[in-house]
Structure 1
């Protein structure tokens, strides 16, 4: 008689079956799993240990945002002025009020300025002033200087556009490789030293095109294969205010506008009238980008928005933390051992337990915004950060991934053909984490297999 059969006959809790840790040491990993439609825990191992969750912390931010902001929440960008407008000239300063829209890009800025042109403004005879009061301060993400080439660590900002990235777009014209800067950024000169030739295929265009930046010159050199036509790579060349101002100037000129005379920061005066307002797409669109592709900058923007829209102390970061902790209290979820820094998991300090994150997953799946929350998670073997993982389980498995140098993490749901769902959290903190991703995947697979077997045994 097998152990599994004996357990089935005696109706012993599946917790009696220890998780198969495989190559994982017991002190490296924390595990928790429970059915969404049930009340008992299915499996756990060190479930109360404080662990670095890496990007699975984004699930906490997404859950809090849906509950505190609502799925209909939109970020509003505005242009205001108290200057006189006559004969197509705005005779004074223009105020751009930014609120940290995480998906704001060149297309949105173009629409904002197109509407300004439709109001009859052709020349801005004053400065462009950035009103940045929505965020009193930006939460930290310290300790990643050495990871600059491996993690996307652009900080959030009230006027973040295109994630502060300028694209080098490559193409061929009359047999010669060309490159353009998108957006054009008037302060920079593009020095194209590319030569035709090279490999038969393109692969990663950065292997063929070397980019160097000196002052206001961006030099691109190398041998560009014709197969690289239509590819792109990004450069990070300006601070947030500089990028916003340069993007504004480039697009405004493209639309036939003149000015402004300069760019600075400034608070919108009380008597300023609204010239243009533009609302973002609803919150779930941002959450899909954040969770499927693990975008740190966008997650941090949502986190700060929680503080900005739920003001208590006036400190955006402290108010964001309070928004999460008060929600935990309302839902009866333990407040410890949660430690928050920026809500994105791009942190050496953030901590959570597998049980605490699991309780949040259960609350999310049982709540009114379950569809929006679950839809934001990557589908195994199909999209996002799970596109090449868990092929044997397929899209019935939806998991948010987490990756740092010493951390690998998985958290989400598996849905049985019968519709029953299992919430799963697996957190690995170890100096050898990079070598153990396969073992962590196997651990999650083992939990799903055992849960599926239990469902089959049920009458």
Structure 2
């Protein structure tokens, strides 16, 4: 009896939330980390530290946007890209302008563009005598990601757009067969000049090329790309990418290039405008379902796609005409409908690519609880990286295996983890751990160690019970 009493007392003590004085912070200073861990199936909080302090969550903010999107649009929702015209089709010729109505599909790539144009060709159109007109009315603007100007042309910082195509990425494909080194641009964009100064790097006895960008020099100035260096023959068939042109120029030039590949003629230039009221739809491309976009957003922390999804919330539920303001309103409505306190929430673009965005660890943790209880829990959880196996968590926390699924967050001054652990006893825990510190870049191992310690403690509790 005495033994049973002592065991019950021990378990009760262990079940109390870990506070700062009893929590092993794994070498982190108390003022640079916020932590919240709670059971999904009950109101119990297992660990908390500075849980009510509003912090910069970096890309764990994508969880807020993802949850709001599932609750508002549903997992099967799709974006639609349309080609419309008011001009007649005579023979195989559209005798006037063709309008491309874009709605910010974050998955819209070159194969999607090919499918859209292929439907137009199936209609019998071969020639477009007028212009290609981009109708950008779906978004009132692209929103902001201030203080990232130095990274503007890097893939993670590309702004969303109604007509963003293939993330405005152009591929450089490298060939060196028989000593003739060359590079080819795909898609072939008429507004981009590619200058190749490659020489034959010969056969160096290597088995693989690795990252070809370490073998050559790529210099980009405006719409001119210059590639130089010595290309080894082992790099035949290698590829790298660059971001080129504005979203509008890329979309229009990619349209013209892919249309020509299908044997099409025209269009006679392009413009930005609105769809005529008497226009009819000639072709439509429907994106994969929302759940597929969420996987791309959360597994690989795609900022551009997340920002586009955030804008889509405002575009699909317009009230003010300001897409960003409407998106914030939609998120607020979702939080309120789930009895979540969003007092500490500050949204700039919904992606975490922000110096302004804020949320407390408790608020994000309670959102994770709500998401795990929602009708779309399976879709939400499945979008997160698996520890040691996938996405941005592939090389981290592998000792916990597929039971641990976490969204990562990385910015200058920020390292974050948020998601779920399915314990061996069947209990699911919601976990949020966020570092805001000038030395954050050094502290990822400490963050992982902090999480490891909290999970190990719960595992001991579960085993003892």
The TM-score by the shorter chain falls in which range? Answer: over 0.9
Structure 2: distance between partners of 1:215 and 1:378: 36
Structure 2: distance between partners of 1:303 and 1:363: 19
Q: Does 1:225 align with 2:232?
A: yes
Tell me if the contact between 2:105 and 2:287 (Cα under 8 Å) persists in the aligned partners: yes
Aligned match of 1:206: 213
CA-to-aligned-CA distance 1:213-259 (integer Å, 9 cap, x gap): 35654221111122223322111220010000000000000100000
Tell me if the contact between 2:104 and 2:163 (Cα under 8 Å) persists in the aligned partners: yes
Task: Output the aligned Cα RMSD.
Answer: 1.6
Structure 1 pair 121–150 and aligned structure 2 pair: CA distance change class (3 A): closer
Report 1:35-46 matches (<5 A): 35-46=39-50
CA-to-aligned-CA distance 1:50-103 (integer Å, 9 cap, x gap): 100000000000000000011011000000000011121111000000000000
Aligned match of 1:162: 166
Alpha-carbon deviation of 1:298?
A: 0.3
Tell me if the contact between 1:19 and 1:446 (Cα under 8 Å) persists in the aligned partners: no
Q: 2:273 aligns with which of 266, 269, 280?
A: 266
Structure 2: distance between partners of 1:422 and 1:304: 30
Alpha-carbon deviation of 1:149?
A: 7.4
Aligned match of 2:3: none
Aligned match of 1:14: 16
Tell me if the contact between 1:33 and 1:358 (Cα under 8 Å) persists in the aligned partners: yes
Aligned match of 1:309: 316
Tell me if the contact between 1:94 and 1:128 (Cα under 8 Å) persists in the aligned partners: yes
Q: 1:70 aligns with which of 74, 87, 93?
A: 74
Q: Does 1:174 align with 2:178?
A: yes
State the TM-score, normalizing by the size of structure 1: 0.96
SS in 2 for 1:314: coil
CA-to-aligned-CA distance 1:407-427 (integer Å, 9 cap, x gap): 000000111223221110001
Tell me if the contact between 1:8 and 1:457 (Cα under 8 Å) persists in the aligned partners: no
Structure 1 pair 41–231 and aligned structure 2 pair: CA distance change class (3 A): same
Q: 2:385 aligns with which of 378, 386, 393?
A: 378
Report 1:22-33 matches (<5 A): 22-33=26-37
Alpha-carbon deviation of 1:146?
A: 3.2
In the alignment, structure 1 segments of 5+ residues that lack a partner are none
Q: 1:89 aligns with which of 83, 90, 93?
A: 93
SS in 2 for 1:349: coil
Structure 2: distance between partners of 1:182 and 1:239: 16
Structure 1 pair 375–215 and aligned structure 2 pair: CA distance change class (3 A): closer
CA-to-aligned-CA distance 1:132-185 (integer Å, 9 cap, x gap): 000011210000123457771000000001101111112333332232111111
Q: Does 1:246 align with 2:247?
A: no
Aligned match of 1:441: 448
Structure 2: distance between partners of 1:7 and 1:212: 67
Structure 1: distance between partners of 2:72 and 2:223: 43
Q: 1:123 aligns with which of 120, 127, 135?
A: 127
Structure 1 pair 140–127 and aligned structure 2 pair: CA distance change class (3 A): same
In the alignment, structure 2 segments of 5+ residues that lack a partner are 1-5
SS in 1 for 2:392: helix
Structure 2: distance between partners of 1:359 and 1:410: 15
SS in 1 for 2:31: coil
Aligned match of 1:341: 348
**For structure 1, which segment, 37-46 or 355-364, has the greater mean C-alpha deviation from structure 2 after superposition?**
37-46
Alpha-carbon deviation of 1:8?
A: 5.0
Aligned match of 1:455: 462
Aligned match of 2:406: 399
Aligned match of 2:107: 103
SS in 1 for 2:398: coil
Structure 1 pair 38–349 and aligned structure 2 pair: CA distance change class (3 A): same
State the TM-score, normalizing by the size of structure 2: 0.95
Tell me if the contact between 1:154 and 1:297 (Cα under 8 Å) persists in the aligned partners: yes
Tell me if the contact between 2:18 and 2:46 (Cα under 8 Å) persists in the aligned partners: no
Between the two proteins, the alignment pairs up a number of residues equal to: 454
